[in-house]
Structure 1
Amino acid sequence: MNLLKVVDKIILKVEEFILSYAVIIIALMVVGKAIIRESFGYSLPFADEVSQIAVVVATFMGISYAARKGRHISMSAFYDLAPFKVRKVLAIFIPFVSAIVLFVLGYYSALYVMDVQESGRVTAALEMPAYYLYIFIPIGFFLGGIQFLRNAWINIRNRDEVYLGTDAKDYNDQETKELEGTHL
């Protein structure tokens, strides 16, 4: 179990590194391109392509990070109003279904990446193999699926609390406990 925790921490650090630098690269490319275009009347031919790669990397590698931190997009109006037992069931069911969907998407995106690789396509400006751009899509889906399975598992294992992510307890439970504490 300790080995899994070490691997998990390494994956977290790699995700944080990739996401941080992807956002920095996006900012540098977009701002740099605008400044150079306005200053010199010249546009960097590779800036759009590098930005596109960074956006794809940040988007798909961010799936796992958002699931881990409980910061994924959710429509929680009914969930927030639901009693604890309903939220607990949903906190197991929703991540489980999300994991299945992500694994299926990961499978099909991996097939697409292999197809792009076999085609020999290269990017226009950098002339690098096009599948380098797309390889992060199945990786992100797969890691996101694992995180959602972990979210479901932590909710199965911990019966007294609801977790939105492996690192994030449900804020509804915290508010309820705070209110109960004031009435004592």
Structure 2
Amino acid sequence: MMKLEEFILSFSIILISIMIVGNVIAREVFNSGAFYFAYEVSKFAIIIATFMGIAYAARKGRHISMSAFYDFAPMKVRKVMMIVINAVTAIVMFVMAYYTYNFVLFEYNTGAITTSLEVPRYLMAVFIPIGFLTAGIQYIRNTIVNFTAKAKDKVYLGIDAVDYNDQREKDLKVEDISI
């Protein structure tokens, strides 16, 4: 599943680049509108990359966080904080999946289509609840990993990402200090 997710994310980013650069070259160099669909394809790829990337970032422990209190807390407090943060975030992701699923149903029922490609708009939106759902599952996994024996003396930001506070050495060496 992780390899498929990485492929989808990589393909989306590459597709965005090709569409945007191709559109600029076609328009400015060749004075052509050959890439008239570039905006819609790019928008579709951005939606996929954004919402499918939520779970990937959660697994890697790479989401932006406000960590001022967290960084100064002792290990046991950080572990409790991480469990609570991941559990609450999972709930929020599942709630968002529910609401965006209703949005997809609304788009489906309206029968709206895109202007250039004339494909149903719900096809573009279907990745939003999928992204939220997979992110919710990933945050549940992140919560569970902090209860396992693997995390006995560490805090995990993601299932394979140890907290940066637990990675650094407590003893600072003279050669590590740069002026």
Does TM, normalized by the shorter one, top 0.5?
A: yes
Aligned residues: 170
TM-score, with normalisation over the residues of structure 1?
0.89
Partners of 2:92 and 2:23 lie apart in 1 by 37
AA in 1 matched with 2:23: K
Change in Cα spacing, 1:40 to 1:181, as seen in structure 2 (3 Å) is closer
Partners of 1:33 and 1:105 lie apart in 2 by 34
Work out which of the residue numbers 115, 125, 132 in structure 2 matches 1:134: 125
| 1:85 CA displacement | 1.3
Structure 1 equivalent of residue 83 of structure 2: 92
**CA-atom RMSD, angstroms?**
1.2
Partners of 2:110 and 2:75 lie apart in 1 by 52
- 5+ residue gaps, structure 1, are 1-10
AA in 1 matched with 2:84: F
Q: 1:68 and 2:59 equivalent?
A: yes
Structure 1 equivalent of residue 98 of structure 2: 107
AA in 2 matched with 1:150: R
More helix as a share of residues: 1
Q: 1:151 and 2:149 equivalent?
A: no
Partners of 1:90 and 1:32 lie apart in 2 by 46
Structure 2 equivalent of residue 174 of structure 1: 167
Secondary structure of 1:75's partner?
A: coil
Q: 1:33 and 2:23 equivalent?
A: yes
AA in 1 matched with 2:106: D
AA in 2 matched with 1:30: I
Partners of 1:143 and 1:180 lie apart in 2 by 39
Deviations 1:32-77 (A, max 9, x none): 1111111122232100000000000000000010000111121112
- 5+ residue gaps, structure 2, are 174-179
Q: 1:19 and 2:12 equivalent?
A: no
TM-score, with normalisation over the residues of structure 2?
0.91
Secondary structure of 2:157's partner?
A: strand
| 1:181 CA displacement | 9.1
